[in-house]
Amino acid sequence: MHVINGRYKIIDTLYSDSVGTIYRVNDISSSDDITLRLKLLVKSYSHIDRVINIVKSFSQWKTIKHPYIDRVYDFDIVDTIDGKEIVKDRFFYTFEDRDYEQVIEYYDLKDDEKLSAISQLCKALAYLHSRGFVHGNLDFRTIVISRDINGDICVKLKNMVFLELYHDVYFNTGNNFVETVAPEIFFNENITKEADVYSLGILMYYFKYKGVRHQGSVDDINRRSDDDPFVKLVKKY
C-alpha cells in the first residue's frame, strides 16, 4: 500500500466527495501504530482562503482534546508518496478514526438517549467556549451520533478543519437545517459563544419534537417548559 510522507500507510480507501478522498491509514512513525483517517484534498483546494485559514489556526485546533469532539492530528502538504517526491500541491489532514457502523439519526433516539446526547453537546460546547473557541456551525451534519460497544449513546462534534472546509458546502440558503445557524453568522457580524447557544436551542427543538412544527408556538412551548428535563439540562450548563 502507498505511504504518504514516509509516515501514513494507506490501509483502505473509504469514500470521496467534492472536497477530497478519505483514507484509513496507519501512522507508522508511532510506536503504537495508530490508525487514523486521512483526508486528501482535491487540488482546487490548495490555494483558497479557507486552507489559508486552516494553516493559520491549526496549531490551536490541534490542542482541542475532548471526548465529545473529533480530534485532529496533522495538516500538511504531500511531499512524497512511496518515497517519490510530488510536485503537485496537495494538502491533507489526519483525524481520529471513528466507527460509523453504529451511526444513528437524532429522531431515532429514545427520550433518555436524547437527554444524554444534549448533555454531551453541552459539555463539548462548554469546553470549546472555555478555550476561547466558538463552533459557529452547530448542525446535525456537523454532529455524529453513534452507539459504543456497550450500546450507549456517543456524540462527537466534527473537527474544526472539517467545519472550515465544508462551510460553503453546508451552510447556504439552499440546505436543510440552515435555520440552526445564528443570524449574526449570515450577516458576517462578530460571532460569540451566544451563536452556539442559539444553535443549541434549535437543535433541542428538533431533538424533542423530531422536527414536527405543529406542537405549538415557541411561546407555547416556553410556558409549559418549566419542568421540562431538556430545559433543566441546558440551564445546568
- pLDDT tier at 141 (50, 70, 90 boundaries)? confident
The architecture (CATH level 2) of 3-96 comes to: 2-Layer Sandwich (3.30)
Decide: 13 and 3 in contact? Cβ < 8 Å.
no
Q: What is the pTM of this model?
A: 0.81
Residue 169 region, left (φ>0) first, then alpha (ψ -120 to 50), else beta? alpha
- Residue range(s) of every CATH 1.10.510.10 domain in the chain: 102-236
The 8-class DSSP code of residue 6 comes to T
pLDDT value for 73: 95
Fold of the domain built from segment(s) 102-236: Transferase(Phosphotransferase); domain 1 (1.10.510)
Decide: 85 and 79 in contact? Cβ < 8 Å.
yes
- Residue range(s) of every CATH 3.30.200.20 domain in the chain: 3-96
pLDDT 10s digits, 172-215: 545 545 678 787 877 777 888 999 999 998 898 888 876 544 44
DSSP 140-162: GGGEEEEE-TTS-EEEEEPPHHH
pLDDT 10s digits, 58-88: 999 999 999 999 999 999 999 999 989 987 7
Alpha carbon distance 74, 70 (integer Å)? 13
Cβ neighbours around 205 below 10 Å, total? 19
**Alpha helix positions (H), the chain:** 49-61, 111-130, 160-170, 183-186, 193-209, 218-223, 229-236
pLDDT 10s digits, 97-120: 976 567 888 888 998 999 999 999
Q: Which residue has the higher pLDDT, 228 or 84?
A: 84
